[in-house]
Amino acid sequence: MARTDDDTWDLATSVGSTATMVAAARAAATRRGVINDPFAEPLVRAVGLDFFTRVAEGEADLAEVADDAWFRRMTDVFAARARYYDDFFNSASAAGVRQVVIVASGLDSRAYRLSWPAGTTVYEVDQPEVIKFKTSTLARLGAAPTADLRTVSIDLRQDWPTALQAAGFDASLPTAWNAEGLMIGFLPPDAQDRLLDNITALSVPASRFAGDYGTMTDQSAATQQQMAAQADHWREHGIDIDPVDLSYTGEYHDVPKYLQAKGWDTVGTTLTDLLGAARLPPLQDEDLGVAPASILYVTATRR
């Protein structure tokens, strides 16, 4: 089903199922020792999508979905991305930042698995059903946050800054912001701009930002055909992921340029860089033509 401006989801449907997919990849990467996310597997199991559960438990592989470069490298891509953002948070903590906001937090478990310095507050912002599911599941597992965790149950297309401040966010403190896997078409262009505008308005100098951006689904006939084939492959495995339906279309601003104009200094990174930093195999020629290879990564510091 195509996206609408007021659509909602849980972790087994629509955009939510992609969060479960990414968590399954993190669980697989944890088994391989690439990252350490001990909560990914039980969270995926609790969602109840059979194929992703088997991936998380090591009984299946995302490469089984289809014999193409994207599915073969999917676990590596999400493992490298996870390490990139882990490093971002560790660097921010080392610099003295003690306030963290994870937007569209999904099944992210960093509030439970990273070693946050004393006095750190982590805010997670996401759809109410997503927040409720994750916090209740981790509570049943006996998991305890390693920081002062505060959840903010609201859609990012709504007035989330007010909700964030109501939860205790202090706009006078430097903040580390993370928008992982969000600015790749999951927000309309104007909503993505508002997201960055709001983050900027809430950020004092020395605040930091990290995110990935680009498009997974351009409008070319070749890409549309590729995405339709991917949707068919997912359905064969009992998963309702249609990349075209999940993404908004329109003209998006270049994120680093947009941030620079708003008073941020930016550093760009490519997937090739992320794979190298994680000591994972580099992209091959056949990998370069798949959509994730075009996604770029950026960190920024508020001037």
Predicted local confidence at residue 4, as pLDDT? 59
Predicted local confidence at residue 1, as pLDDT? 45
Task: Confirm whether pTM is higher than 0.85.
Answer: yes
Does the residue 222 lie in any domain? yes
Does the residue 154 lie in any domain? yes
Using left for φ > 0, alpha for ψ between -120 and 50, and beta otherwise, residue 168 falls in left
What Å distances lie between residue 290 and 9, 92, 105, 285, CA to CA? 27, 32, 25, 10
Neighbouring C-beta atoms of residue 72, cutoff 10 Å:
18
Does the residue 293 lie in any domain? yes
Does the residue 25 lie in any domain? no
**Which residues of the chain register pLDDT less than 50?**
1, 3
Predicted local confidence at residue 249, as pLDDT? 85
- Sign of the alpha-carbon dihedral angle for 277, 31, 40, 59: positive
Tokens 């509030």 correspond to what residue? 111
Does the residue 197 lie in any domain? yes
Does the residue 66 lie in any domain? no
Does the residue 82 lie in any domain? yes
Does the residue 7 lie in any domain? no
Predicted local confidence at residue 3, as pLDDT? 44
CATH number of domain containing 157? 3.40.50.150
Predicted local confidence at residue 35, as pLDDT? 96
Tokens of 66: 């289809």
Range of the domain at 138: 75-302
Number of domains forming the structure of the chain: 1
Angle in degrees, 0-180, between the axes of helices 14-31 and 69-94, rounded to the nearest 10: 80
